[in-house]
Structures are given as structure tokens and as C-alpha cells.
Amino acid sequence: MIHFDNICKRYPSGYDALNRINLRLHKGQMAFLTGHSGAGKSTLLKLIAMIERPTRGQIFLDGVNLNNISNRKIPYIRRNIGIIFQNHHLLYDRPVFDNVAMPLIIQGYRRQEIRKRVRAALNQVGLLSKEKSDPITLSGGEQQRVGIARAIIHKPLLLLADEPTGNLDPELSLEIMQLFARFNQVGTTVLIASHDLDLIKHTGFPSISLQDGQVAHNGLPFTVSNN
Amino acid sequence: MRNNPRKKSRLRSYFSHHLRTALASLGRLYAQPAATLMTAAVIAIALALPVGLYIALDNVAKLSSDWDGSTQISLFLHTHVKNSDAQKLMNQLQTHKQIKKIDFISKEQGLKQFRETSGFGDALKYLDSNPLPIVLVVHPKITGNKADATTLLVKELGKNKLVELAQLDVQWVKRLYTLLEIANRSIWVVSTMLAIAVLLIIGNTIRLDIQNRREEIEVSKLIGASDAFIRRPFLYTGLWYGVIGGLLATIVTLVSLALVENPIHKLALLYSSDFRLHGLGFVKTLLLILISCSLGLIGSWIAVSRHLKEIEPS
Ligand SMILES: Nc1ncnc2c1ncn2[C@@H]1O[C@H](COP(=O)(O)OP(=O)(O)OP(=O)(O)O)[C@@H](O)[C@H]1O
Ligand SMILES: [Mg+2]
């Protein structure tokens, strides 16, 4: 699903955030991305979401070489990805329902379909009763879950999460990780950047650890490459 | 790669999306009535000004073409020319292609008119003989606004042996045409400048709008919104500004016309003319609103193409 081939990323400031990264995450796998602050976790996720472009090397997403994707085509790549951020990026000028519906509106879904899917997604994250609330009135954990509902509403093939439990208590963090595991069970590939080593251990999913822009440890099970 | 909704329903959903975007943009403007009206009023004034000038000029042109019909050339014959010779000249000129009609004013008639209108009636009693010449008043045929043709006719008539002086009574008509031409061009210059001003106003308003919705734009880009999708609400906002500005400009114009119409008609009556002010008319009003809409769309397009690129998720 994701294949990093000798990826380097140098920011315009001249800093090398990633250095010769080689990685393979297969379809249906779920893994964590760990490492110290500044190790390059966010940078790696941004490269997949095409928020940044690599300086060197190639990234394949579901077999598509992202280097061949023009800026105009980026939206269509992103429609296959669900992205979750630490600061959930919700829009406070509209209710929860409208926030969650955004990916479907963008893709031109019909109204009944949108209503059905938003309800289902909110139900999955346990917030069906809050569909008419303003996001600002929700707790941090609830807002994070709205962000997750928005990321999975269009049934993406790949789910990327950057510190999704950054400011949540352990209990809620675990709950959210279990939510990701459930999406993974129905076939979604999941990659989560996180500091929380205890939590990662607890969930039992493999992790890739970065250090100074390089892969220090790759805990992914070796599988025969079928890409 | 994706299981997309089916084609037919997508097309329908595309149009309903446009409709919803347009209404949402209008709703945003409605939510801030004061700011919206202020911007629209500036646009309306900038549009109504050249329109007002245009209407004024149009009316003067119509009025002057009425006067053009009353253009006449006075042929003052030499004092020694006798009535019979003058009559012959008149008959001869009446066959001229460019002449519609000729009035004959004999020496006696001239004196009588002079006495009645000049106020020197008593002084004239002391004259031994009538000092006035025979005058032929020539009414030229005039097609269009050809002041030059009239001038040529004056020259031609002046060359006749019997004629001492040929004088175009309304020479200022020609000057008026020149002035009208200048005014006409000035209006184009003013209109162009004001149109640019409208573009700048709308562009700047949309730029602020884009800045205020930065967060929304970023999120939309992150979840895969196409550029066209992100552009759309701003283009509709620009279009609505054009619509509202155009309608306001029409209202301003109509009200202004209504205010001056009565006094002008009264003035015209004093000059025993049935002149009436001509407004914009239906077609030109539509054109005004169309131009306004185009300016709104172009202005927002400029702003959008310049400022949307700057906003990228990070
Ligand atoms: N836009 C940028 N311009 C320049 N340098 C950057 C930029 N973004 C990140 N960096 C640098 O690249 C390095 C990696 O950053 P990144 O955000 O990927 O780290 P991270 O592993 O996500 O850290 P954290 O756990 O603190 O979020 C950091 O040293 C950072 O300063
Ligand atoms: Mg980070």
C-alpha cells in the first residue's frame, strides 16, 4: 500500500528531516510510527498525504508513483486517504454533522447518501447524539472523535493519524486506538504517529521507529512483497 | 480506485451543488448586511456615475438633432437686387438636391419684422429708404449629423453673384457636435477607470473573504477538494456583488432620473418644446446589470487566482 524507496526530505531551510527511508506497509496492515520529537514522523506522513514533496526518492501509494502526480491531481490522491491531526482541524463555524460531511460533499455525493453515512460514522465514534452540536461545545476527546469520523466517512483505503491521542487521557487514548483497530479489521490500512510507547505496546501492533530522519527499527512483520 | 456514485446522479448532484454553493454564498452576504450593502453601494455608485453621464449625453445628442432640423442658411442678397431677380434665384435654388425649402423675405417684410422685434421702430421712421436687403432663408435637407455637408452648402451658396453674404444661423451646432464627441470619449475614459475601480473593490473584498476562511480552505484541500470546488463559493460571492451592485445602480439611476425629469419637462415647455428625458430603457438596463455581473465575476476571479494558491495545508 505504501512503499518508500530511498526517500530524502530536505526542507527549504536546509534541514534534512528524512534521510534514505525505505519502508513497505502492505494493504490491510496497521502500524505505529515512533521516535523522538523532531525525528521526522510528521514529515513522513506529510509526504504520503502530498502536503510535502520528497527531495529525492520515490513513494508509491497503492502502486501509484506520487512523483508522477501533478499538483492539480493531488486532490484525487487525497480522496483515498483519511487524515487525522493532533489539533483535529475542525471548523467551528458549522455543526458536527457538516464537519463530518465535508469529504462527501467535496466528492459530490447525494444528500440522502451523505445523511446516511454521516450518521453511521458518528455512530461508530459514539457521537450520534451530538450531530447538531457546535464542535466548540465538545470536549477534547469528543472533538478528536469528530475528526476521526470525518477521516473515515468516505471509506478511505489508508488512514493516517499524527498524534491522535496527544492530549487525551490514557483511557480515552486506548478507546481511540481500539477504534482504529476496528477500521483496520475491515481492511483499512492504518499508520499512526505517536509518542505513547506504553499505549503502543498495549495495543500490540508493530511499530517503526525513526531517529534523526532514519529508520532505527522496523518492527513490521516480514511478508513476501506482493507489490 | 474508488467506488464513485453513478454518473447520472453525479450530474444532478453537480448542479444541485452549484445551486447550494450559490445560495450559501448569498447567505453569507445576507448574514452581514451592513458590510455587504456598503460594498454593493460603492459598486453601484461607481456604475451609476458613468451611466448618468451617458444618459445626459444621450439626451443632449437627441435634443441637438432636433435643433439640427431647424438649421437654416440666410442668404443676404445685394441691396440692388430686384424682387424679380431674387424670385428667379429662389426658383432655381428650389431644385437643388440639398435644399428642402426656401422662405422669401422681401425688403418690406424685413423692415416690418425688424420694427416689431428690434425696438428701434421709431428710429426707422427717419430713414428715407429701406436699407434692408432681400433675404432668402434656405432650409437644407439634413441626413444624420452631417454638419460638414451643411458647411459646404453655405460655401456654395455664398459664391452666387446675387448673394452678398451666406450665413449659417446655427454654426454652434457644429461646435456642439465636437463638444459632444469629446464628452463621449471622456465618458469612455471615466467608465473604464471606474470599471477598474469596481474590479479592485470586488477583488479586495474577496481577498479579505479568502483570508477569513483560511482554515476552511486548508481543511478542504486536505480532504481532497479540487481547486474548482474551493474557488466556486468565492466566484459566486463576486457574482452576487455584481448582481446587487448592478441592481442598486439601476435604482440609483431611476431615482435620479425621476428627480430631474419634471423640472426638465417644465423647462422644455417654457421653450415650447415637448422634449422629454430619455432613460436607459430595458435592454440597456439589462446590459448594465450584465456588465456589473461580469465585473463581479472577473474581480473575484483575479482575487481567487492570486490568493488561493497561497493557502496550502502544512
Ligand atoms: N516546514 C519546515 N521547514 C523547516 N524545517 C522543518 C519544517 N517542518 C519540520 N521541520 C524540521 O524537520 C524535523 C522533523 O520534523 P517533524 O515535524 O517531522 O518531526 P516529528 O517527528 O513529527 O516531531 P514531533 O514529535 O515533535 O511532532 C524537525 O527538526 C523540524 O524542525
Ligand atoms: Mg510531529
Which residue owns the Cα nearest ligand 1 atom 25? A37
Across chain B, mean pLDDT equals 85
CA A105 – CA B17 distance, rounded (Å): 8
Q: What is the pLDDT of residue A225?
A: 45
Cell 448673394, residue? B163
| Cβ contacts of B54 within 8 Å, gap of 6 or more | B187, B191
Domain count, chain B: 2
**Cα-to-centroid distance, A190 and ligand 1 (Å):** 21
Provide the ipTM: 0.90
CB contact under 8 A, A106 and B224: yes
**Cα-to-centroid distance, A16 and ligand 2 (Å):** 15
Q: What is the DSSP letter of B71?
A: -
Q: Using the predicted structure, report yes or no on whether residue B70 has a pLDDT greater than 80.
A: no
Q: Using the predicted structure, report yes or no on whether residue B103 has a pLDDT greater than 50.
A: yes
Of A106, A108, A109, the CB nearest to B223: A106
Q: What is the pLDDT of residue B1?
A: 47
Half-sphere exposure (CA, 13 Å, Cβ side) for B116? 6
Query: Which of B169, B196, B220 lies at the terminal end of a domain, its last residue?
Result: B169
Specify if A218 maps to a domain: yes
Q: Are residues B58 and B78 in the same domain?
A: no
Task: Name every chain B residue with its beta carbon within 8 A of the beta carbon of A103.
Answer: 223-224
**Nearest CA-CA partner of B104 in B94, B96, B114:** B94
Specify if A67 maps to a domain: yes
Give me A176's grid cell.
Answer: 481511540
Across chain A, mean pLDDT equals 91
User: Which CATH number belongs to the domain containing residue A218 in this structure?
Assistant: 3.40.50.300
Paired with A5 in beta bridges are A58
Name the residue range of residue A124's domain: 90-155
Q: Are residues B85 and B61 in the same domain?
A: no
Nearest chain A Cα distance for residue B22, angstroms: 15
Cβ of A162: how many Cβ atoms within 10 Å? 21
Q: In this predicted model, what pLDDT tens digit does every residue of A78-109 receive, in sequence order?
A: 999 999 987 778 999 999 999 999 999 999 88
Q: Are residues B137 and B194 in the same domain?
A: no
Asked if residue A189 lies in contact with residue A30, where contact means CB atoms within 8 angstroms, the answer is: yes
Which residue owns the Cα nearest ligand 1 atom 4? A11
Specify if A105 maps to a domain: yes
Specify if A146 maps to a domain: yes
Residue B143: which pLDDT band, with cuts at 50, 70 and 90?
A: low
Orientation of helix B33-69 relative to helix B227-270, angle to 10°:
40
Residue B59: which pLDDT band, with cuts at 50, 70 and 90?
A: confident
User: Of B98 and A19, which is predicted with more confidence?
Assistant: A19
Specify if A39 maps to a domain: yes
Q: Are residues A1 and A74 in the same domain?
A: yes
Name the residue range of residue B239's domain: 18-66+175-307
Task: Name every chain A residue with its beta carbon within 8 A of the beta carbon of B222.
Answer: 49, 51, 78, 83, 89
Q: Are residues A63 and A172 in the same domain?
A: yes
User: Which CATH number belongs to the domain containing residue B162 in this structure?
Assistant: 3.30.70.3040
HEC assignment per residue over A57-125: EEEEECCEEHHHCCHHHHHHHHCCEEEECCCCCCCCCCCHHHHHHHHHHHCCCCHHHHHHHHHHHHHHC
Residues 14-53 of B with CB under 8 A from A: 14, 16-17
Q: Are residues B207 and B279 in the same domain?
A: yes
Q: Are residues A200 and A221 in the same domain?
A: yes
Ligand 1-lining residues (CB < 6 angstroms) = A 11, 13, 15, 17, 35, 37-43
Q: Using the predicted structure, report yes or no on whether residue A66 has a pLDDT greater than 50.
A: yes
CA A55 – CA B43 distance, rounded (Å): 48
Amino acid sitting at position A190: V
Q: Are residues B222 and B290 in the same domain?
A: yes
Amino acid sitting at position B277: L
Q: Are residues A64 and A105 in the same domain?
A: no
Q: Are residues A216 and A109 in the same domain?
A: no
Question: Helix (H, G, I), strand (E, B), or coil: what is residue A142?
Answer: helix
Cβ of A77: how many Cβ atoms within 10 Å? 18
Percent of chain B past pLDDT 90, that is, above it, reads 42
Q: Using the predicted structure, report yes or no on whether residue B4 has a pLDDT greater than 60.
A: no
Q: Which of A43, A44, A162, A192 to mutate to test the pocket of ligand 1 (most atoms within 8 A of CB)?
A: A43
| Cβ contacts of B263 within 8 Å, gap of 6 or more | none
Chain B residue with minimum CA distance to A43: B314
Average pLDDT over residues B104-119: 80
Q: In this predicted model, what pLDDT tens digit does every residue of B280-309 receive, in sequence order?
A: 889 999 999 999 999 999 999 999 999 998
Specify if B12 maps to a domain: no
Q: Are residues B111 and B241 in the same domain?
A: no
Least-confidence region, from A122-126, A222-226, B50-54, B116-120 = A222-226
Query: Which of A119, A136, A155 lies at the terminal end of a domain, its last residue?
Result: A155
Q: Are residues A112 and A38 in the same domain?
A: no
Q: In this predicted model, what pLDDT tens digit does every residue of A105-162 receive, in sequence order?
A: 999 888 899 999 999 999 989 999 999 999 999 988 899 999 999 999 999 999 999 9
Asked if residue B172 lies in contact with residue B269, where contact means CB atoms within 8 angstroms, the answer is: no
**Cα-to-centroid distance, A15 and ligand 1 (Å):** 9
Q: What is the pLDDT of residue A226?
A: 45
Average pLDDT over residues A1-21: 93
Q: Are residues B225 and B271 in the same domain?
A: yes
